[in-house]
Structure 1
Amino acid sequence: MLIWRLVLVLGRRRSHTDMPTTADKPIYRVLGPLEVTGASGEECRIPRGRQQVVLGALLLEANRVVSTESLIDAIWGEEPPVTARTQVQTCISALRTSLAVIGEGARLVTREPGYVLEVSGDRLDAALFSRYRKEAHDAAQAGRLQEAAALTRRAADLWRGPALSGSRSDKLQSMAAQLDEYRLINLETYADMELRLGRHVQIVPELSALVAAYPLRETLRGRLMLALYRSGRQAEALEVFREGRTILVEQLGIEPGDQLRELESAILAGDPDLRLPGTEQDVTSVAEAPVRAPAAASEAALPPTRPGRGTPFQLPLDNADFTGRTQIVEAAQELLLAGGDGRPTPVAVLSGPSGVGKSTIAVHLGHRLVRDFPDGQLYCDLAGTEPSSATALDALGRFLRALGIPGAQIPGPIDERAEMYRSLLAGKRMLIVLDNASATQQVRLLLPGHGTSSVIVTGQSGITGLPGARFLYVDVCSRQEAIDMLAAVIGPARVAAEPEVAADLVRMVGRLPLALRIVAARLAARPNWSLMWMRDRLSDERHRLDELSHGELAIRSSIALTYDGLTGTGRRLLRLLSLEDCGSLPTWVAAALLDTDLFHAGDLLESLVDAQMLEVDSTALPSEPHYRLHSLVRLFAREERERHAADDGAEDALTRLVGGWLALADEAHRRLYGGDFTILHGDAPRWHLPEAQVDQLLRDPLAWLETERANLCHVVDLAAETGRAEACWDLAVTLVTMFESRCYFDDWQRTHERALAAASEAGLLRGRAAVMLSMSSLYLTRSQLTPARGALEPAQEAFEALGDTLGLALVRRNLAMLSQRQGDEPSALVLHRQAVADFQAVGDHVGQTNTLAHLARLALDQGRLDDAEELLDQAMDICRRTRNTRMEGQVRFVMSDLMQRRERYPEAEQLLRGVLDQVRSRGDIAGESRILHRLGSVNARLGRSAEAQRLLREVVAIRARTMDRVGAAEVRLELAQLEADHSGLSADIGFEPQGRTPLRH
C-alpha cells in the first residue's frame, strides 16, 4: 500500500494547462474504497460486509439489472446458505434506508429478476472516469493534445487506491481488477501524451513510481526508459531495462518482449527516431480509446454504423444470444481501441481451452466495434485445430482480394504479399480477426505494419512472440453467465421455475460454454422435459462430467450425451459428415453421403442443428444452406465412424461425395462453355442430383464455383488421399474454369501438383498428360515459358501414344501460343492451323473459335488485315451458330483491334462498349481496365479529347487501386501526351496484358 500511496500522490500532480483544477466530487465512489456522500458532502455510512458487497455489485453494473443470483454469488460464492435470497432482500431494504439519508433511496429499484441502482453519469466516479477518457480521445483525434492530456490527468485523479479496496468478495475483486487495469492503461496514455508534449523530465517521477508498483508491466518500463533517455539520462534508461530483464528472468523465466529489446538497442545506437519532434504541431494525434465503464446513464449507446460501400466486412454474424463475458470483452475492447499513429499495433490474443467460446467472443467484439474501425474488418478462419490449416500465404491472398486486388495482381512470394498487404493497410483504421490460429508463423505476417489498425487472434496455444500482443485468457463462464446463457436458449421462465436445479446443471457441466449449449439445446428441443429430468440424466454420467473442466475427455463426454439422443440415421450422418474436413458443407453433401433425396437430407441436417451438433453457416448464400461441423464434434464423429466402419459403408459414401462434387463441377463448365469443350474428362463415377436441383444450384455457374471454391479444392486433396486418382485429376482440370476466370493462380498450382502426384502414382497416363497440359496454361499465364514447354512436350507424347485428338488439339494450341511468345511466328501459324483442324474433327467449336481468334491476332501482328478479318468472320459465324456469347466477346475484342488498324473508330467503339458490359457483369476488373484503355485510344482518334482523358483517368484509378503501378504509370504518360497533342496515343493498345493470354474464355 505504501507504493500505491506514492503513486496516488504523484498522480495528483496537475499538468500545466488551463483546465479546471477543482476536484470532482461524485456521490458514489468505487475507484478506491467504497464511499458514498451526499450532494452537500454529508457522509452516508454503509455497514461493512454484505451491504457493501451488494452496493458494490450494483454500482459496477449501474443502470443495469443485477439478478438476485448474481448478488448471492458475490456475497457467498459457490456455497450460499439456504436463506440467501431472504438475506439479500434484507440487505436491499437496509441499503434503501441508508441511501434515503442523502435522498438516493428511491433510486434503488426492484426489477425482475433482481435490482437496479439508477445513477446519472456525474454521480459515479467510474462513469466520470469513462467520460473524461472519451473526451480525451475525441480531443486527441482532433489534434488538441494539451486538452487531451489534461482530461486524461483528470480521469487519473479520480482514483484513491485500488478499485473497491477492502471488499472481501472474490467476484467483486475480480471485476474491480479490470477497473484497475483500465487505470493503468489511462496512466500509460497520459505518459504518452506528456512525452509527445515534451514533458519527459516532469513525467519521470510518476513513471518511476508506477514501474516500482508494477515491475512486470513492460509498457510502463518502456515509457520510463524513453523519458529518461530524452532527459539526458541514457545510463539510467539502460539500467531500467537491465532491472526489468532480471525481474522477468528470475520470476517468470522469460526474456523481455520485442518492443523493450528494440528500445534498448535504439538507445544504445542513439537512434534519432527517439528524439522529440520539433514542435507540438508535429505531434500526431493520439488515438486513445475511451473506456466502457459500468453503464453510466450519460453514456447513451450510439447505434453502430456499417463501413462504407465497398469496404470489406467479412465477419460472420454475431451470436444472437451472446450473454455475459463482460470482463474479457471490456479488456479486449480497451486494448483494441488503444492504437494510433506512432503506437504499436494492438494485438489481443484470446487463448484458452477448447469450447470456451474464443471465436464467439472475437466475432462479438468485431461487431461491437464496427464504428470504431470505419475502414472495415477482415476475417480469416485459420483452422489451426484442423489437419488442413490455412497458411499465411493463403490468408494474405484472401485479404488482398478483399482489399480490391485482382488475382492477377497478387504476388506469388509470401514476402511480396505481406509487403503489399501492409502497404494497403497503412493509415487505415481496420480490425483484423485471425480465428483458430495454431502457431505464431500463421499469424506474424498477417499483422499490419501500422498502429492505426488492431488485431484479434484466437487460439488454444502456441501463439507466442507476437509484437505488441497481450494475452487474454478466456476461462469458463461465471455461474451467473452460464445461467444467463441457459436462460437465453430455453427461456427465462423455465430457469426461474427451477433456479436451484439450473444452478446444479451449470455446475455439472463445469460452466463450459460448448457443453452448456449442448444441454440447453436438448432442453429447448424438448419443452416437456423439466430441468430436473435433465439433471438426473447428467447424474447418470457423473464420473465423466466431473472432469468437464479438464480438457478433451470431458468435452467428448458432453458431446456423447447429445449424440446418444440422436436417431440412428442422424448418428450415421454425423459420422459420415466427418469424412470431409472442409469448413462449410452444402445440404446436398448429406444427400450424397446417405444416397437419399435432398429434402430428407435437409431435415436430418436441421435435426443435428437443433441438437447443437452442427452450426448453420451464416456467411453462405441463403438460397443454399450450408453447415459447419465444430472441430471437436468432428473429432468425436471420426472416432465413432472408426467404431462403425463396417456398418456405415463409408467407402461407398466417400465415392458418392467425390462424385457429387465432380458432377456439379462438370455441369458448371458445360453451362459456361455450352458443352464439354476445351476440357478433358476421365471415367471416375459421378453422383447426380435431380436436374431441377442442379438448375437451382447452378443458376450462375461461375458464382457457384466461386462460392464452393474451398470445398472443391479440398475434394481434390480428399480424392488424392483416399486413392481416387481418376476423380482427383478430373476435378482439378475442370476447376481451371474458375481458376482462370478469377485469377486463382495459387489454387490452380496447388491442386494440379496434388493431382499430378496422384495420377503419376496410380499410373494414369492420360490423367498425368491432362494435368501437365493444364499446368502449361498456368505457366503461359505467368509468362513462365521454359516450364510451359517442359509440361507440354511430355503431354504431347502421351496424347500421341493414346491417339487422343482433343488432347493433341489443346497441346498444339498451347504450343502455338508459346512459339508466338518466343517470336517463332511461322511455327505458331502451323500449330494453330493444326489445332483448328483437330478441334473441328472432334466437334469442339469453343476450341476452334478460340484458336481462330489467336490466328487472327497473329495475322494482325503481321499486318495481314484481310486474313485477320476472314478468320474473325469464321469465328463469329461459329459463335452465332452455337449461341456462345462468352466466346463472342473475345472475338469482338480482337475485331475492335482490326477496326482500329483500319481507322474505323466508331465501329471499334461500338464493339468495345458491348464487350465492356460483359466483363463488368462478370466482375473482371483487369479486363475492364484493358477495355477502357482501348476505348480511351479510340476516343482520342475520334477527336474526343475530354472523353479520352476521362476514360484513361478511370484506368489509372483502377490500376492504382489494384496496385498495378507500372500499368498506372504507362497510362499517366499517355494522359500527359494526350493533353499535349490530341493525336499522341498509340493506335493499338492490346486487350491481353503483357505476358498473359486468356486461354479458355
Structure 2
Amino acid sequence: DLVQIDHVNHYYSENAAEIVYLQQGQGDIQERLYGIARIYDQQKITYDQLEQATPAVPRIFYGRDDLIKEGVDYIVNSAQAFLAVLGPGGIGKTALAQKIIEMEAVKDKFEHRLYFIPCDILPNVASLIQGMLQCLKIPFQESKSQTEMLNDYFQVNTKLILLILDNFETPWYSEEGRTRIQSFLEKLVNFKHLSILVTMRGPDGPGDIDWYKLGTGSGIPTLSTDAARKTFFAISGNKSDLLEATKAVDELLKEMDYVPLAVRLIAQRAKTNPIESLLEMWKDGKTSVLKEGRGEFRLTSVEHSIQLSVNLLNKDGHDLLSIISFLPNGIPMWVKNLRRMLPKFPNLDVSVADILGCSLVSSHRGSIYMLAPTREYIQKKYPIQSDETMVLLERFYIEWMREVVDNEGNIDKELQLHILNITKIVNMQIGKMLKPEHIEVVEILSEAYKLYEAVVEIIDNILVNIQDLNINQKNNLQFIKLGHIHQMLDKYSEATEMLSKARTQFEAIGDQLGVAQCLRNLGDIHGMQDRYSEATEMLSKAKTQFEQIGDQKGAAQCLQSLGDIHRMQGRYSEATEMLSKAKTQFEDIGHQLEVAQCLQSLGDIHRMQYRHSEATEMLSKAKTQFEAIGDQLGAAQCLRSLGDVHQMQGKYSEATEMLSKAKTQFDTIGDQQGAAQCLRILGDIHQMQGRYSEANEMVSKAKTQFEDIGDQLGAAQCLQSLGDIHRMQGRYGEATEMLSKAKIQFEKIGNQRGASQCLQSLANIQSLDIMKNAHDL
C-alpha cells in the first residue's frame, strides 16, 4: 500500500502542470455551460412570443372617453405614475390601457418609451424578468444575472419610461407565492423615472404601492346602454333588420349586463343570426354562445375568461361562489347579512376576500353581486349542491322580512334590494312544501310599492302547485292578486271586477274587514281613474265600516284618500279638514309614513292657494320625515313641490336646481309620472323667462309622458301650459286650440279650478284678438 501511494505521489509531481491545465479546462467548460444555460433561460420567452400575446388595439371602442381622459390626465400630470386598471375578466381593461397609451400626450411625455408586457404568458418572477429584457431589447451579458442586467438598464437609462404590465394577476397569483413578485415590483418603483400602468383582475393594485385606480371604487364599470348598442351595431355591420329591432337588441345586451367582451362576441354572431335567434340562443345556452372560433382563449370565450379567475380559488371559495351566483340580487349589505345567511360556512371572511380579489364578484355601496355572464356560467358549472344551504337562505329571508316590518322603516326600499332573491328562494321552496311562512311573505310583499309582479308570481305558483289550500287561504290570495295587484299594475277594469266579486263573497260570509278593504281598494281605483264621485262614495262607506269594527288605521287611510280626492278637485277647504284629521289619527297610532304623506298633501294645498310660506314649511317637514324613514319617492315629490313653490315666487334659479334634482331622483327610482311633472314645471320656468322654444320642448315631452302612463290631469296641465306659451308669443289660434282641449279635459275629470283657469285664458285671448283687430282697422 505504501509503495502504491509513493507511485501516485510521483505521478502527480511529474504531471502537475498537465493536471492543472485539465482542471482549468473543466472549469472553462462548466462556465461555458452556465453561459449557455443563461442564454437559454433568457430565450425561453422570445420577443415574438410577447408580440403574439399582445392583442391588437381595438378599432371599435365606445363609451370609454371619460376613462381614457382620466387615465391620460393622471399619467401626464404625475411625476411618477402608478395607474391601476382593475375589474373582472371581459370588462375591457387591456383595450382601455392600449387606448390610453395611444394618446399623443402620453407618447410625448415618454418620447415613445412605452413598453407593453403581456403578463398572462409570464407566470412567475423569472419569466416576467425575461419578458422585460426581451421587450426592452436589453442585450445579454454572460457575466451577469438577468436581474442585474435589468437593474443596470434602469440605472443607466434615466429618461422617463412607462411599463404596461397587462393581466398582472397571472404572476401575482403565482404558485411560487407572492413574496418574490411583490419584492420585485416594489424594487422597480424605486427607479423614479419609471412609471407603471398595471391591468389586473381584482379590486386593488398589487403590493404596497399608492396606485391610482381608474374609474369607480370597484374598478372599470360595464358599458352604458348607448355604448353597448353602438358597439353591437358597429361589429354586426349595421344590418337593417337589427337596426329595426333596437328594442330587442337592447333587451339582449341588458341580459349580458353590458359586459364588453360579451357584447363583442354576441355581435359577431349577429352577423349571421337574426335577433330572435340570438335571444333564443342566449336563453338556451347562456354563456356557451359567447365564443368566437374553436379555441379557448380569454379574448374569444367568456367562459374561458371567467374560468381563469375561478381557477384561483380553493374549495370554500368555489362553494361561496355557487351560493352568490344563485342570488340574482347578490348579497345586499353583505357585511351585515352574509354571516346571518350562512352561519356555518367555514372561513367565510377569507372566501369573500378571495372572490373579491379575483373580481368574480363586484362590490358597490355595501353590496356584492355578479355580472350576468359570470352568474350564468357559475350556476351552470358549479350549482349549489346542499339542500341545507337552501333552508338557511329561506330561514334568513323570512326572519329578515319580519324585522323590516317590525322596524317600520321604508319597506319598499329594503325589499327592493332583495326582491329577486326572495322570489327565487320562496318559489323553489314552495315547490317542495308550502309553509305558513310563504303566505306571510306574500302578505308582506303586497304592502310594498312596485313589487306586485313578484307577488303575482308567488301567488300563481301557490295556486297552481298546491292543491290542499282551504277556502280562506284561496280567497285571501285571490283578493291580494286580483284586487290590489291589478290596481297597482293599472289593470283597473279587471281589478274592479274581481274586487266587486270578493266584496260580495265577504258580505256573504259576514267578513266586515274583508268588505271594508274591498271598498277602500275600489275607492282608490276610482280615484286613480279620476272618477271622483264613485271614489268618494266607496271610501265613505269603507271609512264607516272600518270605524264600526274599530280599525283606526283603515279609517284614517280612507280619510286620507278622501282628502286627496277633494284636493285633486280643487276643494281645498274640505281637503284640508280631512287631511288634518287623518294626520292626527296617524300620529295617535304611530304611523310616521302616513303622517309625512298628509303633511305633503297639506303642503300642496297651500302651494295651490299661493300660501308660499305655509307650503314651504309643510313640504320641508314632510321631506325631512320621508328622508328619515328612507322613502326616496316621498322626498322626491316634496322636492318637486318645493321647486314649484320657488317658481311661483319668481325664484327661478333655486326652482330649477330643486326640480332638476327631483327629476333625477324620479328617474333613478323609475317614477315616470314624477319625472314628467318636473319637466312640465321646468318648462313653465322657461316660459316665465321668455325662453319659449325650450319651454315648448320640455312641456311637449312631459305631455307625451303623461299620455303614455294615462295621467289625464298631467296631460291637461301640459295642454294648458302649451296654450299659455302660444298666447305669450301672440299665436292666438294655436293657443285657443290648446286651451280649449285642456278645458274639456279638466271638465272631464272634474277639475273645476283647471277648467276655470283655461276659460280665463281664453277670455284674455279673445280680448287681445279684438284689440289687435281694432288696432289694425
Q: TM-score, normalised by structure 1?
A: 0.40
Kindly name which structure, 1 or 2, has the bigger radius of gyration based on alpha carbons: 2
Name the structure with the higher helix share.
2
Q: TM-score, normalised by structure 2?
A: 0.50
